[in-house]
Structure 1
Amino acid sequence: MEPLNITKDIIQRQIKERNTLQFERRYHVIDPFIKRLGLECELEGHSGCVNCLEWNEKGDLLASGSDDQHAILWDPFSCKKLLTMHTGHTANIFTVKFLPHSNDRTLITGAADSKVHVHDLTVKETVHMFGEHTNRVKRIAAAPMWPNTFWSAAEDGTVRQYDLRESSKRSQVLVDLTEYCGQHVEAKCLAINPQNNNYLAVGASGPFVRVYDIRMIHNHRKAAKQSSIPGLHTFCDRYKSVPDGAVQYYVAGHLPVKQPDYNNRLRVLVATYVAFNPDGTELLVNMGGEQVYLFDLTNKQKPYTFLLPKKCHSSTGELLSVCIICGI
C-alpha cells in the first residue's frame, strides 16, 4: 500500500467531487484502524442462535431476534439488556425491524412460522399478527417516508405490503415473483432506498436483483381497477401486476452465462442480502454461493438483452427477451 498523505487527499476531495467516495473508503478502512479493533463486550441473553440484529434510528439501541423465539432490546454501549419479550412466534425469528417514527416503541418480527408480528415494546405485547405468507419470512423493510407502512419478503416468492392504518389489518401482495420466475422462486431479502423511499430492492433465488418503483406499481393497479368492467377480465388485468418500467434488473455480467453450470454442480445462486449505501447511489448484494457485488445505480451501463430458454416461448411461438442492467 502506498504511503498516505491525508493533507493532499483532503485538498483533492475538496476540488474534485469524484474523489469523495475514494477518500471515504481509504480512510475508514486502513491498517492502523483495523489493528486497533478489539472485542468491546459480549451481549448474553438468548438461548438459541441469534439470526438478526437491527439498530434504531438514533443508533443507540439494538434489537435482536433468535431461534428461541424471543426478541431482546439492548443498550450496546453499556452492554445492558433492557427488555426481553416472547414474540408469539412458533419458529425461528429471521428478521427484526423498528418501525420509523414510533419513538422506538414498535418492533416488527418475521419468522419461519410464516408469520409477521408487530409488537408494542412499552407494554411487551404483540398488537398485530399477519399470517398471509405461506413460507418462511426472511426480511422486513421499513421507510421513514411511510411511518405506518412496512414490507416483508418470504420464501413463498412474494413481497407483501402492510399498512397499520387499514381497518382490515390485512396485507397485500406488492410483488409476486412466482408470476415471472416459477412456483419455486423464493424471496430472500429486501431494502428501501434511504434517499428515495419509493425504490425497493428485492433479492431472490437466482442471480438477478430487482429494484422496483413502488409508485408505479400502485398507480398501475389503481388505474386498472378503475378501468375494469365487472365480469370482464383481460390477460393484463389478471397477470400484469408489475407494469413496464416499474422494475430494473441488476446482475454481474458473467452470472447469466454461468448459471446453467452452477445448476449442474448444485451450486445455487441466491441473493441473500441487499443494502443501499446512505445516499442511495449504490447497491450492495451478497450473492450466496458466489461473491459480493457493488452496483453503481447512477452510472448505468447500456442494457444487454438475453434470450430466454425455449420453454419461455409465448403462446404464439414468439421468443421473449429480457433486458438486464449489468453493473459489472
Structure 2
Amino acid sequence: MDSVPFRDGSIHTILDSRYFHSPLDVSHSLHTHSSLIRRLSQETELEGHTGCVNAVAWNSKGSILISGSDDLRQKALDCFPEILQINIWSYSGWKLLHSIDTGHTANIFCTKFIPETSDELVASGAGDAGVRLFNLSRLSGSGFSDNAIIAPSAHYQCHTRRVKKLAVENGNPNVVWSASEDGTLRQHDFREGTSCPPAGSSHQECRNILLDLRSGSKRSLADPPKQVLALKSCDISSTRPHLLLVGGSDAFARLYDRRMLPPLSSCWKRMSPPPCVNYFCPMHLSDHGHPSLHLTHVTFSPDGHEVLLSYSGEHVYLMNVNHAGVNEMQYTSGDDSKLMTYSPTINGTEMQPCVSNVFPNGFPIKKNIAAKLDKCRKLIKYAKKSLDNGTPYYGIDACNEVLNGYSHIIGPALKHECLCTRAALLVKRKWKNDAHMAIRDCYAAREIDNSSYKALYYMSEALSQIQSPGGFSLKYATGLESCISITLIPTSEVSHSISKALSKLGKQSKGVLVEPAIKAHKLQCFVASPQIPMRFLTEADCEPGNENPTYTDWEQQDQILLSWLQSTLLVSILSRIIGCVHSYKLWEQLHEYFQKQTCVKARILRAELKTTMLEQKTMREFLLRIKCIVDALGSCGDPVLLC
C-alpha cells in the first residue's frame, strides 16, 4: 500500500470508476473516503447551555440546529418551579438565535423539527413525561431573543414516565411519535387534539398507543417477554416510512411494520406485545441477559438499508435490515455455544480440501472485477502491515471494506485470509467484546477451511481473553497442536497459544490435581519416560550448532510445559526445584520431594495413633480423632490394616 496514500485509493480513481459502478456506490465511496474522515475536526463550539446537552436535531436544510439540555432557570417568582429551555442555533453564523422557555420541569431528552412546516414547528420530550409542540413563528422579530416565552401549541401528558425519544415521518407535518420508559410508543396527531389530561386522571382516555411493550422485555431470544420494556429510542425509515425501529431496556432492537400493527389502543387496556418483523442484536449479547445492558439509541441509515444500534457501556453496531449481505449473520439462540464448540476433524473423514483461488462458476474474471480484486489484496496487505505496526484500528477498517463491500466477488482463499487477519487485529486491539467478534471471524474462516491453523490459533487467543468456560481455549490450542503433524506451520505461534491455554487452566483450577490435567491433554509423554530426539543428527552438526528440527520442536513444547508446571507451584516448593531445565526432571524431583514428605507425615500419624489416649476426651471425640488419623494415613498411601 506504499504506492497508495489512502487505503481506499485516490478520489480520482473513484471518480473514474463511475463508468463501471452505480452512482450510489460511487457516492458512498466519496462520502466515506478516508481522506475526508481524517480531516474531521471540531469546527466550533456553541456556547449557550449551562447543563448537560441531551439532544440535538437539524432542520431539513441543515441550516438550523435545535438543542435540549438539563439547563434549569428559576422563574421570576420563587413560587414557580424551575423550567427548562431549548436553544435554536444558526449554523452559518455559529450563533444562538433563540432560547425558549419550554415549561418542562425535568430534563429535556429529545427535540425534533416537524417536517414540511418551513421549520416553524418543533417538538420536545422531557423527563416530566410531557411532549410539547412549539410554533417558532410566534417569536417576535428575527434577532436574538433571550428566554423567549411561547405557549405550546400542543401539550400531551399521557405518558407516565420519562419521554426519551421523538420520531417524525418525512412529508407528514401532522404526527409525532414519542417513546417513553413507561413501555409505550404513542402517536400524537395534531389534527385530533392538542392536549390530553395528565396520566392517571380519572377522565383520561387517550387512544394513542401504537406499541404497547409494558410486558415486552426479553432476557434472551428464547425467553418469553415478561417485564416492562422501558423504551429509550425510536426511529422511522425515511425511505420506507411504514418501518418502525425501537430499542429499550434489553439487548434487542425491534423492527415493526406499522401496516401490520393493531389499531391505536387506550392506556387502560394492557395489550400483549405485537409480533415484530425482526430482532437485531449482536450474537454475543443475545443470550446472556446482562442486567445493565440496554440500547441507548437506534436509527435507520439514510437509505433505510441498515440500522445503527448503540449500547450503554458497549460498542456501536451497524446491521443490514434485509439480511441480504453475504457477510451478514443472523443470530439465534444457541449460536454462542455453537461457535465455541471445537470438533477436531483434521484426522477424520470430514477434513475439507485446501482452499482454492478459482471461482466455483469457472467464468472469466472481467477487467473491472480484476481491478476490485487487486484493490482487495492491497487492503489486506495494508491490514497485515497495520497488525505488524501495532495500529489495528485502520487495519480493521480495511478488512471491513473488503468483507462488506467485495464479499460477493472475492474467492474463498482471499476471504479466508481477510477473516483471519481481522480476527488477529481484533484480538490485538482488545476493545470490549472484540474477542467475541474475533471468534465469529474464526468460525467463518473454519467453515471455509476446517484445517486452518490460523483460525484455530486466533480462536484460542480470543477464548483466552474472554475467560471461556469449560477449557475451550485449551481444546483449540491442542487442536492447533495436532495440525503440526499434517501441515508445515511456524511452531512459535502454536507454542504461544498452548502456553496461554495452560496458564489459563492453571489459574482457573488451583485446587485441581495437576497430573489428571496432564493426562487429559496427552502431555504425559513429556514427563514420564520421555522419548527425547537426538539434538544433533551427525557429529558434523555439533560444531556449527545445527540442531535437529525435531529436537528443537520437542524442546520448545517441553519448555512450555515446564513453565506451566512452575506456575502451579508454591514459592516454598519452587526453591527446591532450582536447576530443573526439563519438565521430566521437575516431575521426578516433585515426586521424590512429595514422597519424602508423605513418608514423614505417615510416620508422624502412626506415632500419634499409638499415643492417642482417652484422657479428658469424651468417647465420641476420642473415636473421631482416631478416625481422622486413620483416614489421613489412607490418603498418604499407608492405610491401617484391619486384623
Is TM-score (shorter-chain normalized) higher than 0.5?
yes
Q: TM-score range by the shorter chain?
A: 0.7 to 0.9
| 1:5 equivalenced with 2:10 (yes/no) | yes
1:25 Cα deviation after fit: 5.6
- Determine the structure 2 residue equivalent to 1:180: 216
- Determine the structure 2 residue equivalent to 1:39: 42
Q: TM-score, normalising length from structure 1?
A: 0.77
SS at match of 1:195: coil
SS at match of 1:48: coil
Separation (CA, whole Å) in 2 of partners of 1:201 and 1:166: 25
SS at match of 2:43: coil
SS at match of 1:44: coil
- Determine the structure 2 residue equivalent to 1:118: 133
- Determine the structure 2 residue equivalent to 1:82: 97
Query: Alignment length, in residue pairs?
Result: 284
- Determine the structure 1 residue equivalent to 2:305: 281
Are 1:221 and 1:241, in contact at CA under 8 Å, matched by a contact in 2?
A: no
1:179 Cα deviation after fit: 2.7
1:213 Cα deviation after fit: 1.0
Q: 1:293 to 1:39 in 2, by over 3 A?
A: closer
Separation (CA, whole Å) in 1 of partners of 2:41 and 2:32: 15
1:35 Cα deviation after fit: 4.7
SS at match of 1:146: coil
Q: 1:177 to 1:241 in 2, by over 3 A?
A: closer
Separation (CA, whole Å) in 2 of partners of 1:157 and 1:240: 12
Separation (CA, whole Å) in 1 of partners of 2:27 and 2:248: 30
| 1:57 equivalenced with 2:60 (yes/no) | yes
Separation (CA, whole Å) in 2 of partners of 1:291 and 1:199: 24
Are 1:72 and 1:81, in contact at CA under 8 Å, matched by a contact in 2?
A: yes
CA deviations over 1:98-155 (Å, ceiling 9, x no partner): 1111111111000011111111112233121111111111100001242201101111
Structure number with higher strand proportion: 1
- Determine the structure 2 residue equivalent to 1:323: none
Q: 1:203 to 1:281 in 2, by over 3 A?
A: same
- Determine the structure 1 residue equivalent to 2:279: 249
Separation (CA, whole Å) in 2 of partners of 1:177 and 1:164: 24
Letter in 2 for 1:187: L
| 1:162 equivalenced with 2:149 (yes/no) | no
1:47 Cα deviation after fit: 2.4
Q: 1:241 to 1:77 in 2, by over 3 A?
A: same
Q: 2:122 aligns with which of 104, 107, 117?
A: 107
SS at match of 1:64: strand
Separation (CA, whole Å) in 2 of partners of 1:43 and 1:277: 27
Q: Which moved more, 1:24-33 or 1:47-56?
A: 24-33
Q: Which has the higher contact order (CA 8 A, sep 6+)?
A: 1
1:277 Cα deviation after fit: 1.2
Separation (CA, whole Å) in 1 of partners of 2:193 and 2:34: 55
Are 1:13 and 1:20, in contact at CA under 8 Å, matched by a contact in 2?
A: no
Separation (CA, whole Å) in 2 of partners of 1:37 and 1:11: 25
- Determine the structure 1 residue equivalent to 2:106: 91
Letter in 1 for 2:309: V
Letter in 2 for 1:179: S
Larger gyration radius, structure 1 or structure 2: 2
1:41 Cα deviation after fit: 2.3
Structure 1 gap segments, 5+ residues each: 225-236, 308-327
1:5 Cα deviation after fit: 3.5
- Determine the structure 2 residue equivalent to 1:151: 177
1:31 Cα deviation after fit: 5.2
Separation (CA, whole Å) in 2 of partners of 1:11 and 1:20: 14
Separation (CA, whole Å) in 1 of partners of 2:270 and 2:111: 33
Q: Could you say what the CA RMSD is over the residues aligned between the two structures, in angstroms?
A: 2.8
Structure 2 gap segments, 5+ residues each: 72-83, 139-149, 197-205, 218-225, 335-440, 442-643
Q: Which moved more, 1:2-11 or 1:116-125?
A: 2-11
Q: 1:138 aligns with which of 154, 164, 184?
A: 164
Q: TM-score, normalising length from structure 2?
A: 0.41
Are 1:95 and 1:140, in contact at CA under 8 Å, matched by a contact in 2?
A: yes
Q: Which moved more, 1:162-171 or 1:192-201?
A: 162-171
Separation (CA, whole Å) in 2 of partners of 1:145 and 1:76: 23
SS at match of 2:133: strand
Task: Using the aligned pairs only, state the percent identity.
Answer: 37
SS at match of 1:143: coil
Separation (CA, whole Å) in 1 of partners of 2:113 and 2:134: 10
SS at match of 1:8: helix
CA deviations over 1:24-45 (Å, ceiling 9, x no partner): 5654445543454443322112
Structure number with higher helix proportion: 2
Are 2:323 and 2:330, in contact at CA under 8 Å, matched by a contact in 1?
A: no
Q: Which moved more, 1:51-60 or 1:31-40?
A: 31-40
